[in-house]
Amino acid sequence: MQLSTNTLGEIVELLKPITQSEQDRQGLLLQALEGEPILDQIIYSGSNATFILNMAGRVAAYGTTRSGEQAIVAVLKAARTRIGEDQKDRMDLVIKNLDPTWNPSQSGPGQNATAQDDKLIILVLASNPRDTTALRLTEEVDAIRAQLFDTDFGDQFKLEHERAVGPSELRRALLKRKPRIVHFSGHGEAGAIALENKQGKSHLVPGETLARLFRVLRDSVRCVVLNACWSAEQADAIAKEIDCVVGMTKPIGDRAAIDFSSGFYQALGFGRSVRDAFDWGCSAIDLDNIPEEDTPKLITKPGVNAADIKFV
């Protein structure tokens, strides 16, 4: 990103009082990312200038914006709620210089509440118990973000991510996050997916149990993706309650699983139907010359046509 020396110096000076400690810096980044807890791979020590540029890069990579300048603006808007009243006019001038559409009169706590509430939530639930083989789950989430937010309607989605999911975390996340799409990444076996118990080991959850859970959420969840080996049977059970469900008919490799996810959400972000998105995800596997394009299976509730379901 290109910032003039004067502008960067002004930002550093404004943020200095609220970036003194690592805890302050983590809090600011978390707020700029709208609550998404992705705090790794950033250096919290060092000069304010280095930290600010690193933080903006992180927001550009994982937030809903891909532009460096927009990422800086996102950071400044988050910082604005943390600085003193005597500095807000100065902060507004910097933001206005970077974003001419900025309207300070609409700023303050809850300014984006309506816009955020209107976004369609995709909840990614990841589980890789310690007694199972390691999966590239973080890479999968990164790929989904990269493809989804670089689309015509990517800004209408919000991606939320829960790691090391066990039964209690699953229930809480589904009720708290209120997703329209639920995506599970992890291990599966015939008839069950593997969550984590309190010791971090496998806790198998059968398809009928998942179906009972989603029965309560059928008024809000429209699509479930089980990106796990041998998950088609579980998907079949969930599809009795949810319009569209994707499962895997046999083991699926990491690369194929990532390809399918990135292709599926890329198509949804361009306004395509669930049917098209499913086919696009399978095509992404095929384009990578991986002979697993027939592993994913799309199942719909009786009377539902996946070609008729679009999210944007």
Alpha carbon of residue 138 to chain centroid: 11
Which sign does the torsion angle of CA 174, 179, 184, 190 carry? positive
For residue 184, give the DSSP letter: E
User: For the sheet containing 188-189, what is the strand order?
Assistant: 188-189, 192-196, 202-206
Give me the CATH code for the 119-303 domain, please.
Answer: 3.40.50.1460
255 HSE (CA, 13 A, CB side):
9
From first to last of its 312 residues, the chain has per-residue pLDDT tens of: 567 788 888 888 888 888 877 767 777 776 776 655 444 445 556 677 777 777 777 666 655 555 667 778 888 888 887 777 778 888 888 888 888 887 776 554 444 444 455 789 999 999 999 999 999 998 999 999 999 999 999 999 999 999 899 999 999 999 999 999 999 999 999 899 999 999 999 999 999 999 999 999 999 999 999 999 999 999 999 999 999 999 999 999 999 999 999 999 999 999 999 999 999 999 999 999 999 999 999 999 999 999 999 999
Residue 46, pLDDT score: 67
User: What is the rounded distance in angstroms from the CA atom of residue 108 to the CA atom of residue 199?
Assistant: 42
For 88, other C-beta atoms within 10 Å of its C-beta total: 16
* Contacts for 303 with CB less than 8 Å, ≥ 6 apart: none
Domain limits of the chain?
5-111, 119-303
Residue 113, pLDDT score: 41
